[in-house]
Amino acid sequence: MLDRIRASIPALPPAEQRVARLLMADPRSFATLPVAELADRSHVSKPTVVRFCRSIGYDGLADFKLKLAGSVNEGVPFVHRAVDDDDKAGDIVVKVIDNAVAAMLRYRNAAAGQSVERAIAALAEAGRGGHRIEFYGVGNSGIVAQDAQHKFFRLGVCSAAVSDGHVQVMSATMLKPGDCAVIISNTGRSRDLLDVVGIARRKGATVIAITASGSALAHEVPHGGPHILLAADHPEDADRYSPMVSRLLHLLIIDILTTGVALRLGSASLRPMLQEIKKNLRLKRYAAPEHGPGGRAQDGEVDSSSATP
């Protein structure tokens, strides 16, 4: 949480930067002091303290201090436990799972609820209005974009996943006001994706970036504008390791957005469609096999239970 705030300081107005510097100097005290004391120590007005909290993506001072207290007091100590050459399988299981769980809990404590709410509202509005929602990613992030498209099209939303650089440029060029361009990138340095952001902004589409807070992509999505940054920060070194924790965080954020949009669109229209999809998918399965002793399928039969969508 503090890393993300530190990266946001240059984009803040001077008065809010003073509040940020007070925060970074003593986060524990900031989480407990009343607003009048915070304003006095920062040499700003009390509304400026509240504006600072909103500028970095929180609902207000109370919401910010609650998340801050959870981060610096309870905390989830995140130690990136890199595997060693002589690790046994059991060691690998523990280290990989510990890294994933710690990253998700850390994101839970640091997630900016206001930014998530704005992203859900923009995507739901695009879905209701029949506008396009395009998911852009390259490499590993392209696979996350495909997962996002799979989840959103089941909600009856016009969506697509684009991972080829040339097709991304063409797709972004066809965006219109009311459309959403969701840019997914671990490093936030991909030239293709940065090009897409520029085109999408010029075409009037809403840009939602899922990336590290201090990345070049994050700086293309300024705080307080119509576009939205969903920061996913982690200590994983993408230059040395294949992205794993970042991919899980990005998939988690997509699940949060999907759930929020589904709730906004309402169950009255979604439920009958999803039930019909399930019904039609059953026709694609093999008939349930008769099981022999011990519940195992007889020779020559196919048990399709594991193929359930």
CATH number, domain with residue 11: 1.10.10.10
Of 110, 136, 155, the residue at which a domain comes to its end is 110
Q: Is 31's pLDDT higher than 80?
A: yes
Q: Which of 282, 284, 283, 291 is nearest to 303 (CA)?
A: 291
Distance, CA of 303 to chain centre: 36
Give a yes or no: residue 295 inside a domain.
no
Does residue 156 share a domain with residue 48?
no
Does residue 86 share a domain with residue 52?
no
Q: Is 237's pLDDT higher than 80?
A: no
Residue position matching structure tokens 């193929």:
307
Cα gap 65→59, rounded to integer Å: 10
Q: Is 40's pLDDT higher than 60?
A: yes
Does residue 243 share a domain with residue 174?
yes
Q: Is 300's pLDDT higher than 50?
A: no
- For residue 302, what pLDDT is reported? 42
Q: Is 291's pLDDT higher than 90?
A: no
Q: Is 258's pLDDT higher than 70?
A: yes
Q: Is 66's pLDDT higher than 90?
A: no
Does residue 59 share a domain with residue 88?
no
- For residue 308, what pLDDT is reported? 38
Q: Which of 149, 139, 117 is nearest to 260 (CA)?
A: 117
How many CB atoms within 10 Å of residue 242? 9
Does residue 253 share a domain with residue 143?
yes
Does residue 146 share a domain with residue 207?
yes
Structural domain of residue 41, as residue ranges? 1-75
Of 75, 99, 125, the residue at which a domain comes to its end is 75
Q: Is 265's pLDDT higher than 60?
A: yes
CATH number, domain with residue 140: 3.40.50.10490
- What residues have CB less than 8 Å from 185, skipping those under 6 apart? 137, 138, 141, 193, 209, 210, 211, 215, 217
Terminal Cα distance for the chain, rounded? 36
Cβ contact 234:250 at 8 Å: no
Does residue 251 share a domain with residue 205?
yes
- For residue 89, what pLDDT is reported? 85
Instruction: Check residues 253 and 270 and name the one with the higher pLDDT.
Output: 253
Query: For 30-57, what is the mean pLDDT?
Result: 90
Instruction: Check residues 147 and 274 and name the one with the higher pLDDT.
Output: 147
Of 75, 100, 123, the residue at which a domain comes to its end is 75
Does residue 171 share a domain with residue 84?
no
Cα gap 203→223, rounded to integer Å: 19
Structurally, how many domains does the chain consist of? 3
Does residue 133 share a domain with residue 105?
no
Average pLDDT of the chain, as a whole number: 82
**What are 69-102's pLDDT values in tens digits?**
776 654 444 444 566 777 788 878 877 887 788 8
How many CB atoms within 10 Å of residue 251? 16
Give a yes or no: residue 199 inside a domain.
yes
Does residue 216 share a domain with residue 85?
no
- For residue 77, what pLDDT is reported? 42
For residue 98, give both structure tokens: 């510990």
**What are 182-215's pLDDT values in tens digits?**
999 988 889 999 999 999 999 999 999 999 888 8
